[in-house]
């Protein structure tokens, strides 16, 4: 098995910089589209052979250093009595919504058998892969935003209304999701994943105080509960939350392009860093792209260890060829010693 990614997760400097991309499997890839024309997204997630095949596509086509399980952060809700749907051009739809303490009765303890297809896909993949497999979940807070809003949103009005009108009820929801997430991730590890990424996509919408009250204790409990594999924590707005993020004790912090990686290396000395190219630079001309990539690689040297990634998922308009060139460029990059 290729070791560079896991070594970097553990804070060990590597001979070359390992690279993978969030949303590396997806609609920008013709090979994905071919399968997607036959099946809807949820069917793909729920059929272990298809989920495994799609997970392998970017490993074979791009030559990335890690695979990420093809699934979605909303999948564990299916094991908790919540219905999820993905509607073309509308994104995810979740029902029933949970917006008050009294709605919590609609949420049941996670039944892992109900999402057994996730663990079956992992078992297929660990037999076939020659690179490490990343399992994942959302953070309890990011998962909660979907259950409260019922769909994607920009303002999070229902989330904040629940949080600020019934804080005890909101904490109860965080408790339930923390327990469920720990069970779900532990089962992924038992099935064979080599690392875990926690997606806290929406934590950056909170003030540092509310992050401290409503997010940090639960994320910390999950990270502390995972001992056997490295944990990557992904969130946006990292500089605003820096003082809290420093105390999370994850192995890797995944940062976006709004923070300079050199500055992040200085702020987060105990972490390996993952990131942090703006995914939309991949839509522009190559000259502009590689200026930015080179700067990230050189500045990334300041981090304990560096895993190259984007600051968010691959955009649907990205050319496969551009991503391939990017992977080769990173693998072949020679640092000039000073
Ligand atoms: O990264 C990977 O390649 C692994 C698979 C993966 C998907 N979603 C596949 C997917 C992962 C790790 C996710 C995480 C996820 N899902 C997040 C957190 C990361 C982030 O993007 O911030 C969130 C917020 C979701 C929820 C979600 N899933 C939304 C909002 C959407 C609709 C947006 C869109 O692009 O259509 C999805 C659908 C989704 N998840 C697709 C894929 C490949 C597109 C499905 C399709 O129509 O083919």
Q: Using the mean position of ligand 1's atoms as its centre, give its distance from the Cα of residue 300 in Å.
A: 27
Instruction: Provide DSSP, 164-182.
Output: HH-HHHHHHHHHHHHHHHH
Q: Which atom of ligand 1 lies closest to the CA of 316?
A: 35
Q: pLDDT tens for residues 190-238?
A: 999 999 999 999 999 999 999 999 999 999 999 999 999 999 999 988 8
315 found inside a domain:
yes
> In a mutational test of the pocket of ligand 1, which residue from 36, 313, 317, 318 has the highest number of ligand atoms less than 8 Å from its CB?
313
pLDDT of residue 204: 94
Confidence band of 147 (pLDDT split at 50, 70, 90): very high
Confidence check: pLDDT of 337 > 80? no
pLDDT for position 333:
97
- Determine the 3-state secondary structure of 187 from DSSP: helix
- Residues known to be catalytic: 23, 27, 36, 72, 146
> What predicted TM-score, i.e. pTM, was given to this entire model?
0.97
**pLDDT tens-digit readout, 237-256:** 888 999 999 999 999 999 99
Q: What CATH number corresponds to the domain at position 221?
A: 3.20.20.210
Residue 24 Cα to ligand 1 middle (Å):
10
Q: Is residue 283 part of a domain?
A: yes
Predicted local confidence at residue 338, as pLDDT: 60
pLDDT band at 283; cut points 50, 70, 90: very high
Q: What is the pLDDT of residue 336?
A: 84
Whether residue 114 is contained in a domain is answered as yes
Tell me which of 89 and 187 has the higher pLDDT: 187
Distance in Å, CA 41 to ligand 1 centroid: 10
Q: Which domain holds residue 159?
A: 4-332
Task: Kindly report the average pLDDT of the chain as a whole number.
Answer: 97
- Could you report the per-residue pLDDT of 90-115, keeping only the tens digit for each? 999 999 999 999 999 999 999 999 99
The answer to whether residue 338 sits within a structural domain is no
- The verdict on residue 14 lying in a domain is yes
* Residue 324 belongs to some domain of the structure: yes
Residue with the smallest CA separation from ligand 1 atom 48 is 41
pLDDT of residue 187: 98
**Number of domains the chain is built from:** 1
Cβ–ligand 1 contact at 91 (below 6 Å): yes
Ligand 1 pocket, 199 CB below 6 A?
yes
Looking at the domain assignment, is residue 155 inside a domain? yes
- Single out the residue of 101, 82, 213 nearest to residue 162, CA to CA: 101
Query: With a 6 A CB cut-off, is 152 part of the ligand 1 pocket?
Result: yes
In a domain, 277, yes or no: yes
Mean pLDDT for the stretch of residues 81-87: 97
Q: How far is CA 253 from CA 11, 20, 134, in A?
A: 11, 14, 15
Q: Whose CA is nearest to atom 7 of ligand 1?
A: 72
The alpha carbon of 12 and the centre of ligand 1 are apart by a number of angstroms equal to: 30
Picking from 220, 153, 143, the residue whose alpha carbon sits closest to that of residue 177 is 143
């Amino acid at each position: 098995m290729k070791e560079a990614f896991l070594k970097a997760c553990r804070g060990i400097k590597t001979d070359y910089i390992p690279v993978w991309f969030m949303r590396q499997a997806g609609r920008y890839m013709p090979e994905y589209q071919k399968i997607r024309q036959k099946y809807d997204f949820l069917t793909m997630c729920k059929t272990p052979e298809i989920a495994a095949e799609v997970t392998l596509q970017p490993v074979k086509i791009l030559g990335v250093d890690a695979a990420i399980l093809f699934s979605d952060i909303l999948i564990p809700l299916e094991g908790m009595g919540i219905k999820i749907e993905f509607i073309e051009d509308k994104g995810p739809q979740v029902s029933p919504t949970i917006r008050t303490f009294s709605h919590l009765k609609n949420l049941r303890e996670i039944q892992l058998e109900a999402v057994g297809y996730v663990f079956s896909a992992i078992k297929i993949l660990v037999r076939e892969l020659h690179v490490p497999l990343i399992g994942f979940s959302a953070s309890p807070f990011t998962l909660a935003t979907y259950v409260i809003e019922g769909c994607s949103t920009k303002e999070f009005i229902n989330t904040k209304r629940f949080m600020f009108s019934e804080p005890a009820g909101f904490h109860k929801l965080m408790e339930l999701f923390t327990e469920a997430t720990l069970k779900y991730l532990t089962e992924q590890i038992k099935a064979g994943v080599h690392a875990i990424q926690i997606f806290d996509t929406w934590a950056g919408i909170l003030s540092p105080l509310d992050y401290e009250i409503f997010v940090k204790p639960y994320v910390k409990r999950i990270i502390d509960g995972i001992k056997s594999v490295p944990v990557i924590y992904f969130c946006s707005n990292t500089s605003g939350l820096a003082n809290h993020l420093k105390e999370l004790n994850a192995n890797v912090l995944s940062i976006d392009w709004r923070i300079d990686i050199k500055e992040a290396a200085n702020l987060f000395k105990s972490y390996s860093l993952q990131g942090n190219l703006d995914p939309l630079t991949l839509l522009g001309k190559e000259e502009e792209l590689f200026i930015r990539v080179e700067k990230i690689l050189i500045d990334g040297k300041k981090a304990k260890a560096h895993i190259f990634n984007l600051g968010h998922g691959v955009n649907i308009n990205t050319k496969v060829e551009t991503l391939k060139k990017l992977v080769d460029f990173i693998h072949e990059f020679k640092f000039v010693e000073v």
